[in-house]
Structure 1
Amino acid sequence: MPAPPAPPSGVAKSRWVPAAWSELPGFEDDALHEAWNAWLRSCERPPPAFAPLCGDVRRLSIASDAEQRAWMVERLQPYRIEAQDGSGEGLLTGYFEPYLEASRQPGAGFNVPLYRPPADLGVRKPWYTRQQIDTLPEVQAQLAGRAIAWVRDPVQALVLHIQGSGRLRVREADGSTRMVRLAYAGTNDHPYKSVGRWLLDQGLVRDATWPGISAWTQANPHRVQEMLWANPRYVFFREEPLDALDAGFGPRGAQGVPLTPGRSIAVDRASIPYGTPVWLASSGPTVQLSRLVLAQDTGSAIVGAVRADYFTGWGEQAGEIAGRLKQGLRLWALWPK
């Protein structure tokens, strides 16, 4: 049997150990056609190693799962992803695209602004903190006229900041409504501080998942602002249209392609290159997963070899899953032979 191909360079944070297909949990059972949309999206901006395979990927988009599986076995080599110390166990979390009601004009309960980047964002580093943005008149003056829309709930606005993008059902000035996407456009360059961690450190909660945080905020509205200011990081957005073609996919990830619910993950780029098909296995109290996913995004908290953030989609149900997802993980990268 020929030796497996060498793993890619530039993955200094991980060890790639050649593995047999039989090692991948559930490989014979996954509905691979569900992952093919994510792979087709990766082929819009394929990494060099995968570009020669994209013709076959497109051709096989209407093939059966069995045909897709046979092609993968023929053309790809699995590698078990491990940390440098040899550990193959890691952490899976989730993220999603929030859905919020919004208005182009403040008032009638819509009092929380979502801003475009300020003109001097690239000049002053770091920019003002979240608390300073909310309280200093001179900062408010710099942001005048830069609100894309206003939403009702400051906690939901924080969720939007943390997730980095979202969908708005916006009420326009003429009374009509339309759907738009807010995409990440920059930050104030302050570090992200978890409000869940702050609540735990204060002894205020035992459940620091988003459902637990939401329950605490409803019981303690007088302390919500204090909680929000515990995270100095602030995100600015840009507005994008959300047409029928885009509506079935999430925002563009770091690879530059739209994310596919349930089939896109964020990874540490120093462990797994963007555009790599990955076999993901995770069992826990929130979800049971054994499936093909594509490494198409990253995030500031996604650090380490066996670490992934699982894109659950958009809306309330996706947020419920993402908010609770924190469980063990194993990963196999699938690399061209």
Structure 2
Amino acid sequence: MDGSKSETLALVPPAALGRLMPMFLWVSVTGHVREAGPTLLKLCEGRPLLGCGFLDVFEITRPRPVASVTELEMLAGRRLHLRLRDAPDTAFRGLAVPLATGQGVIVNLSLGIGLAAAVSQHELTDADFAATDLAVELLYLQEAKSAVMEELHGMNLRLAHARTAAEEKARTDPLTGLANRRELDAALARAAAGAGNGGAPFALVHIDLDFFKAVNDSLGHAAGDEVLMRVSQILREETRKSDVVARVGGDEFVLILRSTTDPDGVQALSRRAIDRMEEPIQFEDQFCRISASVGVTVSSLYAAPDPDQMLLDADLALYASKRRGRACCTVFTPGMEVPEDRRAPG
């Protein structure tokens, strides 16, 4: 660079140079900052910059540390990695261009990959960048990407919620909101496997409503639905969260009880539920009257509880309750005989 060109560059008004390079530094031969671009001054707001030693404010980390303007000039044309020595230690990329002898060095900086963080931290706007600087476009692209990623995240959450709702619906009886047969089978398999491996015991309770068919025949299915919902409410209130309450047929319910597993306790729970179910249930201006028969078996009766066998045994105990006159609870005992007729009319 000849002297006339260097002198012309040095005489360019700082404001004009700042519009072209908002993050430039003019470093004198003594190593002091003579001028700085407006964006750089904004980034260093609150700390002295003009008149300060360049290397007191900035640390050059790559391609190697420097200790003087002479060493800085030796890195002319090479990409520099710099950072502010004091917090916030904002990182920069830079390029140094020596001026004529005695005029020092021009260092032009950019924010590099730390653009987004610096924009947020220092509240920069597009006015803080040169009109030809691609940083603003890159920032817009990043913001667009963030918006897209946020929308995708929201969509994934909605899909996950929809999937959870669909799975819940597949496991739930649509009328009563209780577990359905599919969910019961899965829960019973888990309970049986756990008890067979030395885990917590459980009781299996099979409930069939008495006189439910008469309600449907005389008052219609809407009345029957009202009865089923009332029965579901009673069973929820008589059990605990650790128990499973399922509707497995039109008027059949199955409970997996962990909170009460001894036969006497299960019979007491069943008696309370039966007594509540026998209370008249109002439907419009009519009263529905039902009862319930209950069969029970407990996992402790089996060396290795088998879900199918337990369901069969609870069903046999239920049938025994029907044969005894309904509205009662029977606990299965080993050796209970299978009757010739499978079920008395409901």
Q: TM tier, shorter chain?
A: under 0.3
State the structure with bigger RCO (CA 8 A, min sep 6), 1 or 2.
1
Bigger CA radius of gyration: 2
Counting helix residues as a fraction of each chain, which structure ranks higher? 2
Q: TM-score, normalised by structure 2?
A: 0.17
